[in-house]
Chains A and B, each alone.
Chain A
Amino acid sequence: MIAIFALLALGGLMHAARSFAPGAAQPGGTELAFGFLLLAAYFAGKTFNKVGLPKLTGYIAAGIVAGPAMLDLVEKSMTVQLKLVGGVATSILALQAGAELNLTSVRPLLKVVASITFLAIFGTMVVLTGTLIVLRPVVPFLDALPVTHAVMVAASIGVALSAQSPAVVMALIAETRSEGVLTRTILTLVVVADLAVIISYGVVSSAATAVIGGQIDLAAAIGGIGWEVFGSIGVGVFIGFMLGVFLIYIKQGVGLFTVMICFVVAEVGHAVHLDPLIIALTAGLYLENVSRADARDLEHQFEQASLPVYLVFFALAGAKLDLAALAALALPVAVIVITRATSLFVGCRLATRGPDVDPVVRRLAWLGLVPQAGLALALAELVRRTFPAFGDAAFALVVGVVATNELIAPVMLRIALLRSGEAGRRAVGDVGEH
Chain B
Amino acid sequence: MAILAMVVLVGAAIADDAGPPTGGVDAGAVTDAGAVTDAGAVTGAAAATDAGAVTDAGAVTGAAAVTGAATVTGAAVVVSEPHQGAAKDPVQLPAAAHEGKRAVVVIKLVLGFVVLFVVAYVGSHRRVVAAQERLGIGGVIAAGFPFVALGVIVRQPEIGILTEDVVERMRPLLQFGLGWLGFIIGAQLDIRVLDRLPRGTAYLVVVEALAPFAVTAAACGACAVALGLADWRSPEFWRDMILLGAAAAMTAPRRFRGFANRGWREGRGADSLIAQLDEIVGVVGLLFVAAYFRPGGTAGWQIPGTAWLFVTIGLGVVVGVLIFAMVRVPTSSGEFLAVVLGSVALGSGLAGYLYLSPIVVCFVAGALVTNFPCEQRADIFRILNHLERPIHLLFLIVAGAIWNLTSLAAWAIVPAFVLARIVGKWLGVFAASATVGGDLPPGFVDQRVLVSPLSPLSIALVLSLHGAAGGGASDWIVTIVIAGAILTEVAVQFTSPPVPLAATARPAPPGTVVDELDELDEPSGPTYVDGEHDDDDRGVGLPPLAPRPRTRGGGA
Q: Are A260 and B7 in contact (CB under 8 A)?
A: yes
In this assembly, does B407 line the interface, its C-beta being within 8 Å of a C-beta of chain A?
no
In this assembly, does B498 line the interface, its C-beta being within 8 Å of a C-beta of chain A?
no
Expressed in whole angstroms, the minimum distance between the Cβ of A359 and any Cβ of chain B is: 30
A36 to B352, CA, bound (A): 14
A377 to B334, CA, bound (A): 28
In this assembly, does B307 line the interface, its C-beta being within 8 Å of a C-beta of chain A?
no
In this assembly, does B4 line the interface, its C-beta being within 8 Å of a C-beta of chain A?
yes
In this assembly, does A52 line the interface, its C-beta being within 8 Å of a C-beta of chain B?
no
Expressed in whole angstroms, the minimum distance between the Cβ of B260 and any Cβ of chain A is: 15
In this assembly, does A274 line the interface, its C-beta being within 8 Å of a C-beta of chain B?
yes
Residues of B within 8 A of A274 (CB): 61, 106
Q: Are B14 and A2 in contact (CB under 8 A)?
A: no
Write the chain A residue with the least CB distance to B92.
A388
Q: Choose the segment among A25-33, A111-119, A332-340 that binds chain B (4+ C-beta atoms closer than 8 Å).
A: A25-33
Expressed in whole angstroms, the minimum distance between the Cβ of A181 and any Cβ of chain B is: 24
Write the chain B residue with the least CB distance to A210.
B77
Expressed in whole angstroms, the minimum distance between the Cβ of A66 and any Cβ of chain B is: 13
In this assembly, does A48 line the interface, its C-beta being within 8 Å of a C-beta of chain B?
no
Question: Digit string of A34-53 for contact with B (CB within 8 Å is 1, else 0)?
Answer: 11101100110010000000
In this assembly, does A303 line the interface, its C-beta being within 8 Å of a C-beta of chain B?
yes
* Residue count of chain A within 8 Å CB distance of chain B: 137
A80 to B105, CA, bound (A): 25
Q: Are A31 and B15 in contact (CB under 8 A)?
A: no
Known: A27-B352, A272-B106, A374-B58. A89 touches B38 (CB 8 A): yes
Q: Choose the segment among A102-110, A132-140, A290-298, A308-316 that binds chain B (4+ C-beta atoms closer than 8 Å).
A: A308-316
In this assembly, does A58 line the interface, its C-beta being within 8 Å of a C-beta of chain B?
no
Residues of A within 8 A of B53 (CB): 198, 201-202, 224-225, 228, 273, 275
Known: A270-B20, A388-B30. A228 touches B74 (CB 8 A): yes
In this assembly, does A6 line the interface, its C-beta being within 8 Å of a C-beta of chain B?
yes
A217 to B56, CA, bound (A): 26
Contact of A39 (CB < 8 Å), options: B54, B172, B176, B339? B339
Expressed in whole angstroms, the minimum distance between the Cβ of A121 and any Cβ of chain B is: 15
In this assembly, does B350 line the interface, its C-beta being within 8 Å of a C-beta of chain A?
yes
Question: Digit string of A383-425 for contact with B (CB within 8 Å is 1, else 0)?
Answer: 0111111100000000100100000000000000000000000
Write the chain B residue with the least CB distance to A384.
B33
In this assembly, does A323 line the interface, its C-beta being within 8 Å of a C-beta of chain B?
no
Question: Digit string of B278-309 for contact with A (CB within 8 Å is 1, else 0)?
Answer: 00000000000000000000111100000000
Q: Are B90 and A377 in contact (CB under 8 A)?
A: no
Interface positions, chain B 325-348, Cβ under 8 Å from A, are: 325-326, 328-329, 332-335, 337-339, 341-348
A26 to B175, CA, bound (A): 13
Chain B contacts to A: CB under 8 angstroms: 1, 3-4, 7-8, 10-12, 14-15, 18-20, 30, 33-44, 47-48, 50-65, 71-81, 83, 86-94, 97, 101-102, 105-106, 109-110, 113, 117, 120-121, 124, 169, 171-172, 175-176, 179, 298-301, 318-319, 322, 325-326, 328-329, 332-335, 337-339, 341-355, 358, 387, 390, 467-468
Q: Identify 15 new A-B residue pairs, CB closer than 8 A, beyond the known A42-B338, A225-B73, A381-B40.
A: A10-B346, A21-B299, A29-B353, A83-B37, A209-B75, A227-B73, A264-B11, A269-B57, A269-B59, A270-B57, A272-B18, A373-B38, A374-B39, A386-B92, A386-B93
